[in-house]
Each structure stands twice: as C-alpha cells, then as structure tokens.
C-alpha cells in the first residue's frame, strides 16, 4: 500500500501499450496506484503514465527487461520507492518468436529468446514479488495475475516456442498458487484468445476471415479491455479463495466443439 495516498499498489509489466496498458488503466479506475514497466523509457511510456494519472491515482514507469533476472531487484526497488509495497502484480510482458518457423526448423536462438522472457524471466520476477509480499504483513489479501495465452493449450506449429512458454507459465501459476495460498496471496492465470493489438496487426485479414467462418463463437476479436476486466475481477481481495483459477478470455475459442 502507498502510505502517502492510502491506496493499494499494482505493478503491471509490459504496460506501455496494448493489453498491459488496458490492464493498468482498469486497475487505476479501480483506485490502485499503478506502476508499469517496459524495455524503453520513451514518449510512449510517459504518455501511458499521464493516462494513468488522469484517473486520479499516482503512477510511475520503470524501464527494465524481464529477461534480465539480475535487474529485477532494481526494478522492484524503484516501484516501492515511488509508490510503496506491491499489493497486486500482473505479469503481462511477453514476446513472440523473432522468426515464425516450423517446429522442425526452429532454432535454439528463437527458443531461448522466447522462453527467456516469457517463462524464465516471468517466473523469477513473480518469485521476487511473492517473496517481497511475504515480508510485508497485510490484513488484505494480495494477488499475482499471470497473463498467459490460449496457446498454453492450443498448438501453433509455426511458433511452438511461444506455446511451450505459455504452457510452462500454467504450471508456474499452479505452483505459486499452492505455495502461497496459506499466506493470503492468490495466484491466477488469464488466457487471452485472439486479441486486437499492435502485435496482431499483421494477421488481421487472416483472423477476420477465420472469425467470420466461426473460429470464435463470440464472432468477434477480443479487445485489451476484455483482459483488463478479467484482471480487475481477480485482483479483488474477495476472490482470494479461488486461487489457482484459470480464466479464458477468448470468446469461447478454446471450448471443444464438434
């Protein structure tokens, strides 16, 4: 909690734009002081901070690369110095493979880069946050929310590294949820489906056609705000007993159908 404002504090990685910024905005609307991270401190990052502050809360930006495990302590120190101890951590930062290659042709460099950010980096940052939470007593339950992907269970053979990283995150959530349940820290996984962001701009026409053909029962693209709504719900201390829950935010994409 931020002792100056008496508001709860949230940290959202990858919060400069897209899903991360929408999640951060959702939490700001809910009354959280919000810290966001990204790999660059630029005009986009500063504009994001101003957007968050427009909701009447304190906000800060800390540049850092989730892949750099040795830098995690500095990032968390900066967040705590600016706002206070973290009550809600949203692990959102992630990357796609530099090259989309068939599973039989992909490279160690592709694999190591994706898992270094999406799995190894995400795991150790969540571990660091959890340990800091445990050191600061709180009468109010806290939460860690991991933004994963429907790719945790759906195969894409031209980016299997990404799928493997997200499947690994699913086990990270289960492990942390089981370990932290007795300490008032809930851990959840949110699995977005096909979401319209800058990252999916290059495949818009492809998925427009597939959605029109019935790929998504809801018959539309997902929006960053859909993810934000799920995260806000899970950040609510009242749902702490639902720890370990996986929430699919995909318009029914992953429902098995004949």
Picking from 219, 97, 216, 109, the residue whose alpha carbon sits closest to that of residue 162 is 97
Whether the CB-CB separation of 118 and 94 falls below 8 Å is answered with yes
Query: SS3 of 23, please?
Result: helix
pLDDT tens for each residue of the chain, 258 residues long: 888 999 999 999 999 999 999 999 999 999 999 999 999 999 999 999 999 999 999 999 999 999 999 999 999 999 999 999 999 999 999 999 999 999 999 999 999 999 999 999 999 999 999 999 999 989 999 999 999 999 999 999 999 999 999 999 999 999 999 999 999 999 999 999 999 988 787 789 999 999 999 999 999 999 999 999 999 999 999 999 999 999 999 999 999 998
Active-site residue flag, 162: yes
Tokens, residue 222: 């997902």
The one catalytic residue among 32, 61, 162, 207: 162
| pTM (two decimals) | 0.96
Find, among 125, 162, 164, the residue nearest to 146 by Cα. Answer: 125
Question: Are 2 and 84 spatial neighbours (Cβ–Cβ below 8 Å)?
Answer: yes
Domains of the chain: 9-248 (3.40.50.720)
Which residues lie below 8 Å from residue 137, measured CB to CB, with a gap of 6+? Answer: none
């Amino acid at each position: 909690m931020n002792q100056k404002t008496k508001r709860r504090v949230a940290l959202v990685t990858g919060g400069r734009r897209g899903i991360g910024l929408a999640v951060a905005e959702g939490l700001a609307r809910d009354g959280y002081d919000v810290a966001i991270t990204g790999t660059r401190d630029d005009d986009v990052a500063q504009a994001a901070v101003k957007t968050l502050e427009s909701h009447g809360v304190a906000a800060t930006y800390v540049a850092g690369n989730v892949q750099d495990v040795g830098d995690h302590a500095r990032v968390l120190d900066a967040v705590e110095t600016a706002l206070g101890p973290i009550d809600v951590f949203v692990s959102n930062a992630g990357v796609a493979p530099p090259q989309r290659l068939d599973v039989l042709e992909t490279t160690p460099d592709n694999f190591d880069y994706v898992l270094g950010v999406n799995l190894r980096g995400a795991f150790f940052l969540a571990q660091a946050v959890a340990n800091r939470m445990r050191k600061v007593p709180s009468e109010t339950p806290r939460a860690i929310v991991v933004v994963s992907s429907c790719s945790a269970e759906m195969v894409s053979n031209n980016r299997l590294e990404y799928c493997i990283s997200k499947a690994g995150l699913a086990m990270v959530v289960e492990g942390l949820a089981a370990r932290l349940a007795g300490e008032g820290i809930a851990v959840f996984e949110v699995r977005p489906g096909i979401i319209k962001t800058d990252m999916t701009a290059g495949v818009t026409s492809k998925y427009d056609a597939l959605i029109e053909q019935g790929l998504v029962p809801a018959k539309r693209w997902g929006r960053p705000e859909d993810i934000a709504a799920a995260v806000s719900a899970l950040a609510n201390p009242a749902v702490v007993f639902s720890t370990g829950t996986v929430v699919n935010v995909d318009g029914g994409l992953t429902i098995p159908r004949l």
